[in-house]
Amino acid sequence: MEQTTAELERVRARLQALKKEVDRDRSRRGKLFRELEATETRIGELSQTLTTLQGDINSAESRMQRTRRSRDQALKDVERERETLKHQIRAAYQIGRQGRTKLLLNQEDPAAIGRVLTYYDYLAKARSERIQSFTTAAKALRKLEDQLAGEIRSLEALFAKRKRSLDALEETREQREQAVATLESKIRDSVLEVEQLEADEQQLRDLLASLEDVLADIPLVLDDDEPITQRKGAVDWPLRGRLLAGFGQPKAGNIRWKGLWIAADEGDPVKAVASGRVAYVGWMHRYGVLVVLEHDDGWYSLYGHNQTAYVQIGEWVRSGEAVSAAGNSGGHRESGVYFELRKGQRAVDPIGWLASR
């Protein structure tokens, strides 16, 4: 992890250039794929927007509750000051309603006159201070009332924005459903399905071959993290869930699954199984939103069908860090994550590497 900034920028530049090549190749594969990619990418963006908005709403609600508590306390302070001031005004009226001069003239004892003057001045001063305290408390209350009103308006705006995003998400999901249905009808023929799956697998192998070439002279620095090669049998799962498909199971024709398809709710965090470098983030047919991590000694972990990715090309991630959110991208009906472990281009059964469930 102690790579220089220049080295990291060189990694990012190479990987970004590779991603552009992959995107250009994919764009030539047909209009239906482009439509599906566009809708699924939009769904991921909207889901991220909603997550951010929910966080903003939660923060705004917390601020509003704090302000409301402060406002309630300020209201009590105003009432207390008003009650105290009321008593002082009544006492002042009872003692000094004849006026200061009359009070002095009614006193025959000089010492008593001094006491009356002192008490009169004290009372006047106390009343002035209480009036000032009441005014200060009233101003604080007005300020908190204004602040609370502003926070309520901000919260209402956030709710309105969330509704617009939810409406847009629902509309985009309907567009995706149409794209998936159209695509399924196009490849319903078993021969076409096998051809498509072979093309998808070849595209992934080509990507990994290109990654190996791009990253060959830029060593991976693991710092203090334990290499994946030393964690066989103890590698963490990307997430826990029911297996929808296992390594080696028949997929179509002679094609078999090269990884694990794990069921999960949309939005569930998908975690890096080991520390590594983000080698690829993009969309591929059937794999959907795909994240590829490079690990030590030429090992790669792949995370597909994501709703959205949380990482960017060239970033370093640690074991257990969330790299994406589970989803059904790639034209699937079931939600979850598709996980592969590869040594170079060769797929390896992850079960032998993952910790027991």
pLDDT digits (tens, 9 = 90+) for 142-198: 888 888 888 888 888 888 888 888 788 788 877 777 777 776 666 555 555 666 777
- Which pLDDT score, from 0 to 100, does residue 166 have? 79
C-alpha count within 13 angstroms, C-beta hemisphere, residue 291:
32
What ranges make up the beta strands (E) of 226-266?
243-245, 250-252, 255-256, 260-263
Residue extents of the structural domains in the chain: 60-177, 193-352
Taking the whole predicted model, whether its pTM rises above 0.85 is answered as no
pLDDT (tens digit per residue) in 189-228: 555 566 677 777 777 887 888 877 777 666 666 665 778 8
pLDDT (tens digit per residue) in 245-270: 999 998 877 788 999 999 999 999 99
Residue 300 contacts residue 308 (beta carbons within 8 Å): no
193-352 CATH choice from 2.60.40.420, 2.70.70.10, 1.10.1040.50, 1.20.1640.10: 2.70.70.10
CA distances from 99 to 93, 94, 116, 175 (A): 9, 11, 12, 85
In angstroms, the CA 125 to CA 115 distance is 15
Instruction: Quickly list DSSP for 299-310.
Output: EEEEEEEEEEE-
- Which pLDDT score, from 0 to 100, does residue 78 have? 76
Neighbouring CB atoms inside 10 A of 225's CB total 16
| pLDDT bracket for residue 326 (50, 70, 90) | very high
- Which pLDDT score, from 0 to 100, does residue 309 have? 92
Residue 310 contacts residue 242 (beta carbons within 8 Å): no
- Which pLDDT score, from 0 to 100, does residue 304 have? 94
Residue 323 has pLDDT above 90, yes or no: yes
- Which pLDDT score, from 0 to 100, does residue 116 have? 53
Residue 110 has pLDDT above 80, yes or no: no
Residue 264 CB-density burial (10 A; 0-12 exposed, 13-18 middle, 19+ buried): buried
Q: Give the chain's mean pLDDT.
A: 78
Cβ contacts of residue 136 below 8 Å, gap of 6+? none
Q: What are phi and psi of 251, to 5 degrees?
A: -115, -55
